Chain A
Amino acid sequence: EAGVAQSPRYKIIEKRQSVAFWCNPISGHATLYWYQQILGQGPKLLIQFQNNGVVDDSQLPKDRFSAERLKGVDSTLKIQPAKLEDSAVYLCASSFRGAFSGGPYNEQFFGPGTRLTVL
């Protein structure tokens, strides 16, 4: 079974530029998550989709960050314009069911991440 795919793996941009990250979750997983992981910290949830609807985007800086999951499968996270403090690893994860579900189906499977450096 293929895992969560992310691209690119690395990106270096200058501040005020824009950047986009792509994620393809595990086939059949309804829930998709984007996390920001700053060096030395744990992942921080930016946005959570259930199919193509947003479940939680309370920690997404909406003035510069946007995300979509148009067909309920793959997703794109965009930053425009980037700031120095956006330098981090951006992780995508998916689960069969959402975090609201109990039982064995809310395990999150993570992609390898995209390391963003903003100069």
Chain B
Amino acid sequence: GNSVTQMEGPVTLSEEAFLTINCTYTATGYPSLFWYVQYPGEGLQLLLKATKADDKGSNKGFEATYRKETTSFHLEKGSVQVSDSAVYFCALTAAGKSTFGDGTTLTVKP
């Protein structure tokens, strides 16, 4: 079956540090890949997506590139802010089925 593996957290960074959260996947066919974010006290919301190999999704300074050869979709941001503190979920949709990773908690300190 499909699966998503995220780097384990929690991740703690200082403001303006570089962020990478690793995500790798296994799936049949050609999945669409997503990053969702859950801010404290709020529901999950889509951060960015990519639907085919080599696509780059971007939003709010975050980026992730769909790498078919390494089955990865790592999330990056060049300079994190305190307001980026949240739980980040990598997810895929393949053949109509959605699979989520277990989430990575990011805390950004001023």
Residue total for A at the interface (Cβ-Cβ under 8 A): 28
Say yes or no: is B46 at the interface (Cβ < 8 Å to chain A). Answer: yes
Is A42 close to B, CB under 8 A? yes
Binds A, one of B13-21, B69-77, B78-86, B91-99: B91-99
B100 touches A43 (CB 8 A): yes
Q: Do A111 and B43 form a contact, CB below 8 Å, given A56-B96, A102-B51?
A: yes
Give the complex CA separation of A90 and B3 in angstroms. Answer: 20
- CA–CA, A44 to B4, complex, Å? 12
Q: B92-110 toward A: CB 8 Å interface, digit per residue (1/0)?
A: 0101111111110000000
**A42 CA / B37 CA spacing, docked (Å):** 11
Q: Is the CB of B101 within 8 A of A107?
A: no
Q: Enumerate A65-119 residues with CB–CB distance to B below 8 Å.
A: 91, 93, 98-100, 102-103, 106-113
B4 touching A99, Cβ below 8 Å: no
A43 contact set on B, CB distance < 8 A: 44, 89, 100
- In the complex, the number of residue pairs spanning A and B with C-beta atoms less than 8 Å apart equals 56
B22 within 8 Å of A (CB atoms): no
Given contacts A56-B96, A99-B93, A100-B96, contact A42 B4 (CB under 8 A): yes
Bound-state Cα–Cα, A53 to B100, Å: 23
Shortest Cβ distance from residue B2 to the other chain A in the assembled complex, whole angstroms:
11
Instruction: Say which residue of A42, A91, A106, A110 sits within 8 Å of B32 (CB atoms).
Output: A106
Give 4 A-B pairs besides A44-B100, A100-B95, A109-B46 with Cβ atoms closer than 8 angstroms: A35-B100, A48-B96, A103-B51, A110-B44
**B93 contact set on A, CB distance < 8 A:** 99, 106
